[in-house]
Amino acid sequence: MNLQKIYATRFLEEELPLKNQIWKVICSDFLSQFVRPTDTVVDIGAGYCEFINNIDCQEKIAIDLNADVKKFAQSNVRVINESCMAIASLAAHSVDVVFMSNFLEHLLNKQQVFDTLQESKRILKIGGKMLILQPNIRFLANNYWDFFDHHTPLSDRSLVEVLESLELRIVKNYPKFLPYTTKSRLPKGTLFVKLYLRVPLAWHFLGKQAFIVAEKT
């Protein structure tokens, strides 16, 4: 499977400026409550680096097997081209936050999901947090499989179950948070995104992605 060709068609580079604007708002208006300016943050499956480029923290690390990630990472982002299941370059208990967005469904099976979460726990400090933004198959029974490289079905409930099995404490669980994709017909201006994030009632109607925060105790 040629994933680079698939992603080049799905994610057009000319769309990146708008996506970065959206992620800048998501980071500043919502995700910043879980990330301190002094934190070391790891973005697993960083892709086009929309999150890691825009989050305010001291040290930024992008994990992705795709060497092209270096083209999109800002100069203050350290890029590591290693497997999410074996990040040899990072020591145990060395980072404050691990973030994943729309990533786990691309892994081939649930064993790989488990191994990724276990490795994320290994590199987290005690008290560190895992932030997971994930399409929720409970609300996407049909659309979840519209993407050729989606392999593993996950819901907020199955994610909570596996995180708790790893002895992580669930801090927040929003079964419905963001819409499924930025390609939806919903308005995409930053003012709309700001308003959406401030009105959780809207999440109930439009949210198709779960957002879960788990803490290493």
Domain CATH code at residue 43: 3.40.50.150
CA separation for the pair 125, 123 (Å, rounded): 7
Find the mean pLDDT for residues 25-39. 98
* Domain span holding position 34: 3-216
Find the mean pLDDT for residues 136-141. 93
pLDDT at residue 104, as a whole number = 97
What is the token pair recorded at 25? 């708002």
Find the mean pLDDT for residues 167-176. 98
pLDDT at residue 12, as a whole number = 57
CA separation for the pair 102, 210 (Å, rounded): 10
CA distances from 44 to 66, 101, 139, 155, 185 (A): 12, 8, 24, 19, 28
pLDDT at residue 145, as a whole number = 79
* Position 10 pLDDT exceeds 50: no
Contact yes or no for 85/68 (Cβ under 8 A) = no
Q: How many domains are contained in the chain?
A: 1
CA separation for the pair 50, 80 (Å, rounded): 16
Burial status of residue 142 (CB atoms within 10 A of its CB: 0-12, 13-18, 19 or more): exposed
The secondary structure of 108-154 as a DSSP string is SSHHHHHHHHHHHHHHEEEEEEEEEEEE-GGG-TTGGGGSTT-----
Give residue-wise pLDDT tens across range 63-104: 999 999 999 999 999 999 999 999 999 999 999 999 999 999
